[in-house]
Amino acid sequence: MENRSKYSTGIKFGLMIGLVYIILLFLRYNFFGKNPLIFGIFAIVSYLIILVFYLFAGIARRKEQGGFAKFQEIFQTIFIAIVITEIVYVLFNFVYLKYIDPSFFDSLKEATRSMMEKAGATQEQIDKQLDNFKDVDAQLKPLKLLQGIAIWIVVDSLFGMIYAAILRKKKDLFEENQIQ
C-alpha cells in the first residue's frame, strides 16, 4: 500500500475523466451535431462512459487501501473526481459554445427542424420542440453555469454513493485474529 494523499486518486481520476469528457464533447459537437437523434444518443453514451470511470475511481481507491475501504473513503475519492470533472465539463462547454463555435445551437436547431419536417411532424410539434432552443444563451451565464454544476454534482454523487456502497469492504476481524 503506497503512502499517498487521500485526495490524490480523486484528483488524478477527476483530471483524467475531465479530459475524456472534453474529447467526448468535442466529438459530439463536431461529428454528431448535424443529426439531433445521434447527438442525443451520443450524449447518453458519453454520460454512461463517465459514470463507469467514476466506478473505476472507487475501485482504484479500494485497491489503494489494500482491498479494504470504508464507504467514506471510496465516496470521497469519487466525489473529488465528480467535482473536478463537472468543473472541466462546464469550462469546456462555456469556451466552446461561447467562443469556438457560438453558432452550434443555431445549426442544431436547424437540423432539428429539418429532421422533424422530414418525419412529417406538424408545425405545432416543430415549434414546441424548437422552443427548447430559446434559452440557450441564458444557459451560458455564470449563475446558470454554477446551478448546472451544483445539480450535476448532486446527480453524479447519487451514483457515487451507490458505487461506494457496493465497493466498500471491511476487514474480516476473524481472519485478522487468526493471522496473529
- Cα angle value 121/124/127 (rounded, 5°): 95
Residue 176: inside a domain, yes or no? Answer: no
Q: What is the pLDDT of residues 93-122, one digit of tens each?
A: 999 999 999 999 888 888 888 998 888 888
Q: What is the pLDDT of residues 144-169, one digit of tens each?
A: 889 999 999 999 999 999 999 999 98
- Say if CB 164 and CB 80 are below 8 A apart: no
Helix (H/G/I), strand (E/B), else coil: 169 = strand
Percent of the chain exceeding pLDDT 70 equals: 93
- Reported as a pLDDT band with limits 50, 70 and 90, residue 1 is very low
Domain of 78 in residue numbering reads as: 8-170
- Range of weakest confidence among 19-33, 53-67, 74-88, 112-126: 112-126
Percent of the chain exceeding pLDDT 90 equals: 62
Instruction: Pull the grid cell for residue 46.
Output: 458519453
- Say if CB 78 and CB 160 are below 8 A apart: yes
Structural domain total, the chain:
1
Q: What radius of gyration do the chain's Cα atoms show?
A: 21
Residue 178: inside a domain, yes or no? Answer: no
> 101: part of which helix (H) or strand (E)?
none
Phi, psi of 169 (to 5 degrees): -155, 120
Residue 46: inside a domain, yes or no? Answer: yes
Instruction: Pull the grid cell for residue 123.
Output: 408545425
- Reported as a pLDDT band with limits 50, 70 and 90, residue 3 is low
Residue 114: inside a domain, yes or no? Answer: yes
Task: Give the separation between CA 34 and CA 60, rounded to whole angstroms.
Answer: 38
Whether the pLDDT of residue 126 is over 90: the answer is no
Instruction: Pull the grid cell for residue 39.
Output: 447527438
Residue 12: inside a domain, yes or no? Answer: yes
